[in-house]
Amino acid sequence: MKKKLVIAIYLFITIFILDQVVKYGFANLAWDVDGPYMSLKLAYNYGVAFSMFSFLEHNLKYIQLLIIVIATIYLLKNKDVFDEYYLSIALLYAGGLSNILDRFTYGGVVDYFYWHYGFEFAIFNIADVIINMAVALIIYKQIKQIREEKKQKNIKS
């Protein structure tokens, strides 16, 4: 458990700092670049995915912090969940807290990846990709666990 916690903390710190450095560059150093397929262009998201809940703009950061606090309390009471999903949890916390910090620092989440070849896609950032990777890892582990349980059940039958 302790080794997993140390790994999770290092992973969290690394991703969080990397994401904040890149966002600082776009927000303060004009790192915008136009490309034929994808551009790097500063945009602020005042909602969540695809700007949903942007009407909660000023309160959203507090709602998200409350969710983080509740999740942390849950993990403290259910250490086995952390033990099983520590990598995904580190990724979720890094991406989520980085985006929440943006709301306090810049007033909205700093986004910059803009796909525009063939169709226009929502503008997103590294933290968004990290959060999606964490969710994919959780789903993968869940599917793997269900298959293993079915296999064990068939062996016993």
Residues 6 or more apart from 82 whose CB is under 8 A from it? 1, 4, 5, 8, 75, 89
In angstroms, the CA 93 to CA 8 distance is 10
Tokens describing residue 127: 């933290």
Q: Is 128 considered catalytic here?
A: yes
Whether the CB-CB separation of 4 and 83 falls below 8 Å is answered with: yes
Of the candidates 80, 83, 102, 128, the residue annotated as catalytic is 128
Of the candidates 19, 34, 80, 111, the residue annotated as catalytic is 111
Catalytic (active-site) positions: 111, 128
